[in-house]
Amino acid sequence: MSECSAFPASPAGEPEFRYVAGMHGNEVLGRELVLNLMQYLCSEYKRGDQRIVHLVKETRIHLLPSMNPDGYEMAYKKGSELAGWAFGRYSYEGIDMNHNFADLNSVMWDAMERETDKSKLINHYFPIPEYYTSEEAFVASETRAVISWMKSIPFVLSANLHGGELVVTYPFDMTRDWAPHEHTPTPDDSFFRWLATVYASTNNVMSNPDRRICHYDDFMRHNNIINGANWHTVPGSMNDFSYLHTNCFEVTVELSCDKFPHVSELPIEWENNKESLLIYMEQVHRGIKGLVRDKDTGAGIADAVIKVDDIDHHIRSVVGGDYWRLLNPGEYEVTASAKGYYPVTRMCRVEYHHYPTLCDFHLPKTLKQRLLDILAKGGKIPKSVKQRLHQLRMRAGAHTINRHRARERRARAFRR
């Protein structure tokens, strides 16, 4: 694993990006591309390439070239000609990590069917089921490690690199009713389609209209992108888990027809994917970003909920109050809320620039929270606050009396 940043000790203000390759150990092209990307970013940064300098200074880039090193070693020993379609795909424990993350889709859809009050439903940060976290659960050690990594770093954008096809897939990866395949979009479908298109349209092979299809599916009819569930259902995918449990948006890139290309093909494959890898990383800066602060103290507020009107999926601020919300160009009504604070709503406009729109929020504390803070410090409630409380109680009492009198009038009228 590698981290690339101009300011590794001071992450505040920089969005976190990751590439993960080698989930299936026999799909090796992603591994080689990520290793090459590490070298390329370092050499071009030192050379002064302004595009790379800007990318590294404005982004914390995390690169994991081999999520399944044991599977890779098995496939490598066989070699590119003999590895086969599945040899090395699974972990040392025999687990397919592409289906090994917690199935939060079912948790979400079950809750939607049971709950009659839709306002009580959550649409983000779904908790991991207790059975999944037990030591007896059939979860690969590599999967557990990656989940711990995801939870420790507030990733904003990611891509999961695979092989065996030429297509970019986007969530959801799992169908709602366990159908073999069915279009199953997220609330952020338009942005996911943009992300997939960015990679596919700049990839030298995918964007070639004269290329051959890999196997049976002609993805060129769909501009080389497809909703994952519409291709084939994948319960427990990393993409869906990232979207439902964290702030991170993630797609899967199927890089080549051949899962284990010959070493002589690697320079060509690097050129085929170099621009796609770079421009996809740059999308982490599309949308809005900002700070959520306490209006009085200016302190950052962690875990504030960022809600975009008409998109039923929220994200949260991180330690220090920073947040990043990926969005397509347009004007949005955005609300920030946090426990103990009154919510604040403002309009935020996303332009077609390669940098995010700054959209800060300053939340005022609720009266109740102010009182709790005073009492927690052993202080006395100020006279002005006591007067305000008295006014609120009087108003509430008058409101109760008025409602009671109205009910009595209606009852007398009914008896007549």
Evaluate whether 281 touches 41 at the Cβ level (below 8 Å). Answer: no
Where are the alpha helices (H) located in 327-382, listed in sequence order?
367-376
Q: Give the catalytic positions in this structure.
A: 254
Tokens of 106: 């079912």
Pick the closest to residue 240 from 160, 325, 120 (CA basis). 160
The arrangement of strands across the sheet holding 344-350 comes to 315-316, 305-308, 330-337, 344-350
Pick the closest to residue 96 from 31, 143, 131, 163 (CA basis). 143
Dihedrals phi, psi of 363, to nearest 5 degrees:
-95, 130
- How far apart (Å, rounded) are the C-alpha atoms in residues 272 and 277? 10
CA distances, 383 to each of 296, 389, 390, 406 (Å)? 19, 10, 10, 34
- ∠ CA(240), CA(244), CA(247), 5° rounding? 110
Pick the closest to residue 333 from 352, 353, 356, 361 (CA basis). 361
Residues 6+ apart with CB under 8 A from 47: none
- How far apart (Å, rounded) are the C-alpha atoms in residues 49 and 201? 23
Dihedrals phi, psi of 391, to nearest 5 degrees:
-60, -40
Tokens 């080389």, residue?
A: 224
